Amino acid sequence: MKTLPPLSGLAAAGLLALSACASDVTLPVRTVTDVDADTGTIELVSGQDLEVALPLTSGTGYAWRLDNEASPLLAGGSSFQTQAKAPGAPVRTVYRYTAAVRGRMDLSFTLKRPWEPDAPGDRRVVFHIRVR
C-alpha cells in the first residue's frame, strides 16, 4: 500500500473550506402539479423540499384532501391555498414536505366537497415518491 505525503497547511485549509461549502449546498425545491401525477416516480434527495401544487376553482366548495398521512419518508406536511383574485378564479392548494429518509411511498389526493361521500368518479391524483 502506498502512503501519501502529509498535506501542507494551505492544502489542508483548502480541503476544509471545500467540505464546508459542500455541506451548505441548498437543494432546489421540487414542485409537482396534477399533470405530474401517475407519470412516473418523483425522485428526491434526503433534505430536499417537495411542493405539491394542485389546481382548484375558488368558491365551488371543492377542496383537495390528502388521502393518507405521509410516511416518515416525508417530514412537515404543511399546506396553504393561494389567494383568489376573484370568486371563481383559479387558485392552488399547495402541500409542502421535506424528504427525510430513504425509501418509496405514494402520496394521493382527492378533489371533492368535504360533506359528500366518496364516489368512484371523484378526481384523484397519485404521486409516486422515491427518496434517495
- DSSP per position, 72-112: TTEEEEEEEEPPPSSTT-EEEEEEEEEE-SSEEEEEEEEEE
Residue 100 within any structural domain of the chain: yes
- Structural domain includes residue 120: yes
Range of the domain at 51: 27-131
Q: Is residue 10 part of a domain?
A: no
Q: Is the pTM of this model over 0.95?
A: no
All cell numbers assigned to 72: 416518515
Q: Is residue 5 part of a domain?
A: no
Q: Report percent pLDDT > 70 for the chain.
A: 80
Q: What is the pLDDT of residues 28-77, one digit of tens each?
A: 889 888 888 888 899 999 999 999 999 998 888 999 999 987 678 888 88
pLDDT at position 28 is 87
pLDDT score of 18: 42
What pLDDT shows up at residue 6?
52
Helix (H, G, I), strand (E, B) or coil at 23: helix
Half-sphere exposure of 81 (CA within 13 A, CB side): 15
Kindly give, in sequence order, each residue whose CB lies less than 8 Å from that of residue 125, ignoring residues fewer than 6 positions away.
34, 37, 38, 54, 108, 109
In a domain, 22, yes or no: no
Q: Which of 35, 38, 27 is nearest to 132 (CA)?
A: 27
Looking at the structure of the chain, the number of domains it has is 1
Average pLDDT over residues 13-30: 58
The CATH code of the domain that includes 87 is: 2.60.40.2020
